[in-house]
Amino acid sequence: GGDAGAGGDSGGGDGDLISVGFSQVGAESGWRAANTKSIQDTLTEENGFDLSFSDAQQKQENQIQAIRSYIAQGVDVIAFSPVVESGWDAVLEEAKAADIPVVLTDRSVDSQDETLYESFIGSDFVLEGETAGKWVVDNLGSEPLNVVELQGTTGAAPAVDRKAGFESAIEGNPNIKIIASQTGNFTRTEGRQVMEGFLQANPDIDLVYAHNDDMGLGAIEAIEAAGLQPGVDIKIVTIDAVKDGMQALVDGKINYIVECNPLLGPDLADIIKDVVAGNPVEKRIVVEDKAFDQAAAAEALPTREY
Ligand code: AHR
């Protein structure tokens, strides 16, 4: 559950604050750390919020428990980033029955009933995968190319969508083949472990497509341990563009990164204020993402916020 104690429409001195229960996916990646910081730095008392924040450690049951406890506390608004897409209808119905509006951030749910939440703010993950795939086609697609894929958390929107987007971008090119694909759960450790297995089983890997920077950074460790040069012997394309990823891109160990902007706090704060004020909000707010090759990363890195 939450950790702020005084949630809900508690009386006393914080009567004007908007109480928010936020259930975060976990702390699996550099992206997630930047996202958590953005939310905690924005939903402050100074800005008019009383935030209860909980980390679900990448477990849906923990998120459902946290949301139930926010409902029991009677918070003004519940916000969360669903670890996987499916299985949310029951708890969202409970929030609706309690008249507590829900805002989705970063990842969405596959619920058919759109009245179960007010708004979803986050990136277009299919487009991110397409952008990654298009770069591979345009830059490496003229010769046979064996690709291994490090997928995000099984059932998570960014894993499902980034896989689909990449596949659709490479579809028309018979040179490009995905020869192995496995989840690395968006973490550096699992990215390294899965890449070690890929290297043992496949003597001829040309490119790693990792659904986030952290798994790509884990793959770099495995490639170097195998005596190969990441970015040269085996090319690497990832998604996120957090600082560690951008540094590896500048160092020539990664070849291309599609951004996923984690700084959702300010927009989330605005949406919550509108919802509480009864103003209409957009059902879907798409966050704009850039993309970086090695030269663009060298230019962007010095002023990178996360
Ligand atoms: O949902 C966004 C994804 O989750 C990020 O790309 C990844 O790094 C994080 O774990």
Atom number of ligand 1 nearest to Cα 242: 8
Q: What is the CA(29)–ligand 1 centre distance, in A?
A: 7
- The residue that leads in pLDDT, 6 or 283, is 283
Q: Any idea how long the chain is?
A: 306
Quick check: 57 pLDDT over 60? yes
Q: In what order do the strands lie in the sheet with 119-123?
A: 49-55, 18-24, 77-80, 102-105, 119-123, 284-287
- pLDDT value at residue 14: 60
Ligand 1 neighbourhood includes 29 CB (under 6 angstroms): yes
pLDDT at 305: 87
CA geometry: angle 185, 189, 192, nearest 5 deg:
95
Residue-wise pLDDT for 87-106, tens only, equals 999 999 999 999 999 999 99
Burial 48-84 (b: 16+ CB within 10 A, else e): ebbbbbbbbebebebbbbbbebbbebebbbbbbbbbb
Kindly give the distance from the C-alpha atom of residue 32 to the centroid of ligand 1, in angstroms, as a whole number.
6
Q: Is the CB of 32 under 6 A from ligand 1?
A: yes
Q: Is the CB of 31 under 6 A from ligand 1?
A: yes
- Mind listing the pLDDT tens digit for each residue in 102-152? 999 999 999 999 999 999 999 999 999 999 999 999 999 999 999 999 999
pLDDT band at 259 (very low <50, low <70, confident <90, very high): very high
Write out the DSSP string of 235-290: EEEEEE--HHHHHHHHTTS--EEEE-----HHHHHHHHHHHHHT----SEEEEP--
Residues contacting residue 171 through CB under 8 Å, at least 6 positions apart: none
pLDDT, one tens digit per residue, over 33-45 is 999 999 999 999 9
Residue 248 has pLDDT above 90, yes or no: yes
| Percent of the chain at pLDDT exceeding 90 | 95
Produce one character per residue of 173-191: b if its CB has 16 or more CB atoms within 10 Å, e if not. beebebebebbbbbbbebb
Query: What global pTM score does this model have?
Result: 0.94
Average pLDDT of the residues of the chain: 95
pLDDT category of residue 165 using cuts at 50, 70 and 90:
very high
Q: Quote the ligand 1 centre to 12 CA distance (angstroms).
A: 38
State whether ipTM is beyond 0.85.
Answer: yes
